[in-house]
Structures are given as C-alpha cells and as structure tokens.
A and B are shown apart, each in its own frame.
Chain A
Amino acid sequence: MTLPAMQYDRRETTAWITRPILVMAVVFATLPLWIETVGLYQYLGVEVLIWIVFALGFNLLLGYTGLPSFGHGAFFGIGAYAFGLAQFEVWANLWFCLAAAIVVTGAFGAVTALFLAHRRGIYFALMSIAFGQIFYFIASKWTDVTKGEDGLLNIARLPADFGVAEVSIQSNTALYYFCYAVMMVLIVLLWRLTNSPFGRTLRAIKQNETRVAFIGYPVRLYKWAAFTLSCGIAGLAGGLFAMAQEGAYINIMSLQWSGTIVLIVLIGGGFVSFWGPVLGVILYFVARDILGAYTEAWLLWFGLMFVVLVMFKPDGIAGMWRGWVAPRLRGRGATTPAPRPAESRS
C-alpha cells in the first residue's frame, strides 16, 4: 500500500547544482530566443515558468509527502490577491509585494494545515477540497476586497529595485527573465531542501507514516510544515501570476483548477521525480496550445491520456524517462530500474 519512492543517486543528492538543473538553466535561459521560431509566443513562456513554480511547490506535498491536496488552487489565488492588495494598499515595491504574497498565503496555509496535518490519504484529500471551496466562496462573496468575478485589476509589473539600479520588468521578455531567476533560485533551494534530513523525513512519511511516527518523529509537525511551505510557494507563484496577468481573478481558486494541478504534476511524474512537475507543466501548456488549436475537445484527449497513464505508467513522464530513455542514454542498460509501486495486496 505504498506510493513509489523518490530515488536518486547519492552523487546528485549531495550537490547544489546537478546536471538536470544545468539543463533547466540553459533551456529556459535561451527560450525567449527561440520560442517564436517554433510558433509560440513570449507570454506562454512566462505562464509556463510561473506554473512550474506552483507545481514544484505542490509536489512537495503530493510527490514528497504523499498528501493529495485538491484545494491548492485556492492558495495560488490568495497569493495573487495578496500581491495586488499589498501593491494597492501598502507599498508598491516588488520585493515587499512578493514577500507579502508568500507570507500571507503561507499564513492561510498554516491555519488550514492545523486542520489537515493529522489527516491521511483520502480524508486529507476531502478536507483539502472543503477548505479550497471555503476560500473560493469567501473570495467570490467578499467583492469589496477581491472584486469578485470582475477581478482585481490594474496590478502593475513593479520594477525590480536592486538598490543601485532599478530594472523594469514591464515587457513580457523582461518579466520572463525575472520569473526565470526566481524559478532557478527556488529549484536550487527545493533541491537542497528535499535532500536535507527534513526532505528525507517527508519522503519517509510518504512511504509509511506510522513507522515514522513510531521512530519518534513529530509527523504532524512535519506535515504541517510541508503544507505551509507548499502554500508559501503557491503564494509566490500567485504573486508572479498577478503581475503576468496584471490582475487577480477568482477562477483559479475553483475546484477545477485545483484538480488540474494534481493532474499536471502526476502526468509529469511527480511521484517519482523532482522534475515531474516541470515535465507536466510543459506538456500541459504545449498540448493545450497545440491540441487546443485543432480541437475544442482537447481536454477529453488530455483526460484519456491521464487515465491511461494512471493505469499503465503512474510514474508519469519522468518514470518513462527513467525506465526507457535514461538507461539507453547511459548506454549500459538499466542500472537503476525505475521504482515500481509495491505490488502487495491489501
């Protein structure tokens, strides 16, 4: 009854910068140069980066701790509102507003986590839906603050003030590079975190919560911390998204989007790989733009793909990569077989 484990080579887990991180850095650094050549557009790049940030934070819960939150879209939305309100009501400074988005969303997450930290599996999933719905309804009703379905509009892309110089991130490309910097920093930090003793404990909780508790770890505290942290990152993504859209809208808080992030992360292979969320986001957005141009039923095909994946390859794209591609790249067959879900019966 366990979920597949995250397994990495020790050489990787002790490093700050690994080969995949370098590949990420290069691919996304050059993306604005070639994205239009392949027929896409700059804004799509911005959105992909922001969703990668969101998905990486989400996977701290789903992939690393094994907690399926079906209400995470709400925190993304709260981050966007927090960014906008901080800008309008307090201080229109990029760093301050981003910090506000992280802290406010983290605080909402921390309170929610008090109710969720002692839940497991399905009960956790359901309670997360309930909280997501509560936040959604409040945001929809409290129109003085959130402007409801009209959206909180005219959120500015604030200049990045480095003390000595102020850099404008007004254009899509400039905003892209700002998000790129944020994402790369986050990736390195998350990579270290997930391979720290804290991260290893989360992974152990995913494998067997009861055992971890018996050993004497304060499991609830760990789960609480993972949830709060994940919400903080969702808030960061929300803040960036508010700038990208130059507004904060309620739709993202709906159940539908909370489900979408689960779908994205799982398809990418979030269960077995740190990079699963990245792969999932790229696939989702590219598929959406390409399939979406040909058929309005693209969600049908995407859903079918998801179902087939859960049935036959729940490790997602990352799992496929490990199972089929990576061993061949190494040229000496499968050295580390992709971790399979345990086949024990209930």
Chain B
Amino acid sequence: MSMKAVNRRSFLKTSLLGGAAGGAALFGPWTHNRVYAAASDKPIRIGLTHDASGQFANSGQAEKRGSEMAVAEFNAKGGVLGRKIETVWMDTETNPQTGTRVAERMITRENVHFLAGAVQSGTANAISQVAQKYGCVYFNTNSSSPTESGANCHRVKFVWDGNGENFSKAAARNAINSFGNNWLLIYNDYVWGQNTNAATKKVATEYGATVMDEIAIPVGTRDWSSVLLKIQQMKPDVVAAAVGGDDFKVMRQQVHDMGLDRNPAWINNQQDWPDIFGLGADAAFGVFGTTWYHYLDLPGVPEFVKQYQEMYPTTRISVPGNVTYNGYVAMRELLRVVEEVGSTDNMKVIKALEGRVMTAKDRMQHFDAVIDANSHQVQQTIYLAEGNAKPRDDTDYFNILSWSDPEAIRSSAGDECKLESYADTPSYDQG
C-alpha cells in the first residue's frame, strides 16, 4: 500500500489499461469522435456520474470501480446484445450544479443510453431531474437520503442503497433489547439527518424506548467536546446518531479520543466502507449498518473480492466495500435487463426493472432483494455490525451481528413517492 496508488490519475490510467473503462473516459470535447456505425455494432454508452472531488470524492471513486467491474465483466463475455459497452465518466464534484451540467452534457452531447452514479442526495436529485426531463434511465447507486425514493422519486430513477430509515429500523429493534431504554438522539441538522432521526425516534418509541432529548448538530461542526460532555452528564443508555460525512469522521475521532466509544452504547446509521478504510478496526465504533461486507460468509463473496483485486491491484482500498458493491450490482442488473429486453429503449428497461426480484445468492446477501415498483428503491438485506475485536486480517474491521429481512425494515418514505406516469415520461433511446 504505497501512497502512489492513491493518485487519482494513475488510478485512471490503470483502469484504462485494464480495458475496463473503454477509451471514452478521457475523451475531451475536442478529440471526440462520434461513432457512426451500423446500429447493431454501435456500442452501448453508459454515462458514469461518479464524484471525484468534493466531499464524497472517495465514495464516488469507489462506486465507479464497482460500475466498471460490471462493465468489464460483460465486455469480456462479448458485450450486451452483441454490442460493446462503453463508459463515459465525468466528475460531478459532489455538487448539484456540476451534476446538472454533466447530465445535460451526457445526454445531449455524449448521447449516452443510461446514467449511473451518485452519493450526495442534492447531486443525485440534480441529475435525476435532467434524466427525467429527457427520459434517460438513471441509477442512483449510493445516496441514502429517504427522500431519494420518497418525495423526490422519479420514473427514470432507481435507488440502489438502503436509506437512512432502513438502517435506523434495523439498528433500533436490536439495540433496545441489548442496551437499554434511555435513548439520546443526536443528528446533523440537515435533510438526511432530520429524516433519519425522525425514523429512529419513531421506531425506538414503538419498541418502548424513552427519548431523553434530541440534539441537532449543525453541519460542519468540528468540535464535539461540548456535546460529548453533555451526553455524559445526561447518562443515556444509548446514543443514536444520525451524523454524516465529514462531521461523522470528526465525531468518531473525538468520541474515540475521549474513550466514550464503549459506554454509552452508540448506534450509528450507516458506515460507508471508503469512509473508514485505512483507519483500522478501532475507528468502527458503536453499532452501525451496512448493505454488504467482504467477509460475509456467502458463496461468491471471495470470488468477487478476488475479481476486484485483480482489476484494481494498486488501489489503496484493497478490498471492495458496500459502496463498490452497490455500484457493481446496479450496473450488472442494468446490463442484464438490457440483454433480456433486447433493447436500450427506456420504457422497456424501466418496466423490466420495476418489481424485479433479485435472488439472495445472486446478490451475495442473505435475503432476496426486490426493486419496489412504486418507489423504485431496492429493498434489500441490511446488516448490523460493530468494530471487530478479533480481526482475521488488517481489512477485517467489522463484526457482523445480525441481518434484517427487507420487509421488516421497509421504509415508509416510499409512501410519499408519486412516480410520473409512463405517458409523462419521454421515450428515450439512443439506438
């Protein structure tokens, strides 16, 4: 693990040499050549909208690796419908303004058939609005705001990650029995935090917990000492935290530093792999959720890890995590559906995806997953984990505690989703 490997340009180069990304990834506007070939051998172009800068640069690049793995897999088998798959990637910079522009460019200039990639909900929303306007199918791979498949759902958008509500449901049920009744809720004072906190509160009170207080933490908080002192003074059994992004990293560090990571019991929402990798098992504190882990005892998992390592031998994150996994399974499913319906026509693809059941075995999870036809969210297994006291190697940070059936932790945010009708969604097919 040398630092050289982190350099993003060298990463890009390796992925290109590996033939995964296809030649298009680095095409600037001036050197671009349109493909005027017969429809049958014209490549299928997929626009990748993964962040490479801004707050979620790391996660964006992790999901990009997943998307490219699936593409490489299909290209190795001869493509889809006998056509090669080409990807065009542009940095969306964790920024809605850039997201809008990139989506416009992907659709109107790069003529992509499909779009995939997002971590931050604002950026995902910006991309999905443009996608819906043109009718281009868009996969939101990793943004976990409940509003993504709730109030802000779209006919062309499919949401592949579990959302904040799924995670809090999975965690809350188990925690009350194990840790006690007096709960303190802390959350980042923005949409994701507020929604997730509301869901946690609802579930916790349903199961008989007493909510002592709810503390809203401003986004961008760098010093947690006052809050941590206050938590100690209140003496809760459980602190349920919906804190995200950089704030979570800083909080984790300061909780750890004060030695508060064991008592009280911490319930964190979701721990994304790129946010923790490299920091050691110590950094995983409390109980948290994830959709996948590279030491799940399931068939196919070791092979997938090996496939990742072969494709990205120099990447700093040496094993795939949940973010890469989501990127991979989403892209794989998209390509399978295109193969099945025999076309890149958006309506055919959308209809095939809605209600689609994916088996547990195929997705390397414990339960079957299904794409909800009404909210377009993938209902999937959620794992609860804690820091691993007995790691088997230096990547083994998590100890998986339990897993929840998708039905048991279904998010109610989907009720607020009103998809555009088929008729109101423009038909879109780049041929």
Contacts and interface: CB of A to CB of B under 8 A. Distances in A.
Direct contact of A and B (CB under 8 A): yes
A150 B147 CA distance: 8
Interface stretch (A113-121, A263-271, A287-295): A287-295
Contacts of B96: 151, 245, 247, 249, 251
Contact of B218 (A141, A151, A293, A297): A141
A150 B191 contact: yes
B105 interface: yes
A45 to B, nearest CB: 11
Contacts, number: 109
Given A43-B108, A148-B190, A294 B26 contact: yes
Interface stretch (B28-36, B225-233, B235-243, B248-256): B28-36
B118 to A, nearest CB: 12
A140 B30 contact: no
A315 interface: no
Interface in B1-30: 8-9, 12, 26-30
A32 B104 CA distance: 15
A18 interface: no
B145 interface: yes
A296 B101 contact: no
Contacts of A184: none
Contacts of A249: 96-97, 122, 126
Given A149-B122, A151-B96, A172 B104 contact: yes
A295 B30 CA distance: 14
Contacts of A147: 191
Nearest to A154: B129
A140 B190 contact: yes
A181 B109 CA distance: 25
Nearest to B129: A246
Given A143-B194, A251-B95, A289 B29 contact: yes
A295 B52 CA distance: 11
Contacts of A296: 8-9, 12, 52-53, 91
A245 B9 contact: no
A332 B52 CA distance: 50
Given A247-B96, A249-B96, A150 B152 contact: yes
Nearest to B104: A43
Interface residues of A, number: 38
A42 B18 CA distance: 34
Contacts of B129: 153-154, 245-247
Given A151-B126, A153-B129, A249-B122, A42 B91 contact: no
Contacts of A295: 9
A143 B191 contact: yes
Contact of B108 (A41, A247, A293): A41
Given A150-B152, A153-B125, A294-B28, A143 B104 contact: no
B87 to A, nearest CB: 14
B125 A141 contact: no
B133 interface: yes
B163 to A, nearest CB: 13
Nearest to A251: B95
A294 B8 CA distance: 12
Contacts of B126: 151, 245, 247, 249
A252 interface: yes
Contacts of B218: 137, 140-141
Interface string B126-151: 10011001000000000001010000
Interface in A285-326: 289-290, 292-297, 299
Most buried by A among B32, B97, B147: B97
A141 to B, nearest CB: 5
B121 interface: yes
B138 to A, nearest CB: 14
Given A47-B101, A151-B96, A153-B152, A297 B9 contact: yes
A141 B133 contact: no
Contacts of A44: 101, 104-105
Nearest to A293: B28
A252 B97 contact: yes
A250 interface: yes
B26 A151 contact: no
Interface in B185-243: 189-192, 194, 216, 218-220
A53 to B, nearest CB: 15
A339 to B, nearest CB: 35
For A36, A153, A246, A290, the residue with the greatest tally of chain B CB atoms inside 10 Å of its CB is A153
Contacts of B105: 41, 43-44
Contact of A290 (B29, B90, B95): B29
Contacts of A185: none
Contacts of B27: 293
A214 B169 CA distance: 69
B324 interface: no
Most buried by A among B28, B53, B91, B220: B28
A39 interface: yes
Interface string B90-113: 110001110011001100110000
Contacts of A140: 189-190, 218-219
A167 interface: no
A213 interface: no
B28 A149 contact: no
B58 interface: no
A41 B152 contact: no
Contacts of B404: none
Interface in B317-372: none
A31 interface: no
A137 B220 CA distance: 9
Nearest to A245: B100
A294 B29 CA distance: 10
A145 to B, nearest CB: 12
B59 interface: no
Interface of A: 36, 38-44, 47, 137, 140-141, 143, 147-151, 153-154, 172, 244-247, 249-252, 289-290, 292-297, 299
5 contacts: A43-B100, A151-B96, A153-B152, A244-B100, A246-B129
Given A149-B120, A153-B125, 14 more contacts: A39-B32, A41-B109, A43-B100, A47-B101, A140-B189, A149-B121, A245-B96, A245-B126, A246-B129, A247-B100, A290-B28, A292-B91, A293-B28, A293-B90
Interface of B: 8-9, 12, 26-30, 32, 52-53, 90-91, 95-97, 100-101, 104-105, 108-109, 120-122, 125-126, 129-130, 133, 145, 147, 152, 189-192, 194, 216, 218-220
